[in-house]
Amino acid sequence: MNRKQHGKRKKLRKRKIKWLMIAYLLRAVVILIPIIMMILMVCGCLYIYERFTKFPVAFMRFAIWFKLLLILASAELYSRRSE
């Protein structure tokens, strides 16, 4: 094998390694994009669920007083019925 052929083989080997690296990087990107999208969708759903199910403290205080008022009013109406 002369120097010319050895240089060609080296270049071919480098080119082959370069293409393999590109192929593996592309495969990794194609796999990672859907995984990241699924993670973001789950996080978004959890955020929306938490946002719409959590009530502020002021609203909870109002709701508690409102429930107490309803209970007292219904108890008063019930006691009037029995009379």
What integer pLDDT is reported at residue 27 of this predicted model? 94
**Span 75-79, mean pLDDT?**
64
pLDDT of 14 > 90? The answer is no
CA distance 11 to 71: 86
Residue 32 in tokens: 């990672």
Rounded to an integer, the average pLDDT of 5-26 is 82
**Residue 41, Cα to own-chain centre: how many angstroms?**
4
Residue 83 has pLDDT above 60, yes or no: no
- The amino acid that residue 45 corresponds to is C
Residue 36 · residue 29 · CB < 8 Å: no
φ/ψ (deg, to 5) at 70? -65, -40
Integer Cα distance of 11 and 51 in angstroms? 58
Q: Kindly report, residue by residue over 19-75, the tens digit of the pLDDT.
A: 999 999 999 999 999 999 998 898 888 888 777 776 666 666 777 777 777 777 776
Record the pTM.
0.48
Whole-Å CA distances, 58 to 28, 49, 64: 49, 20, 10
Q: How many domains are contained in the chain?
A: 1
Question: Which residue range(s) make up the domain with 47?
Answer: 3-82
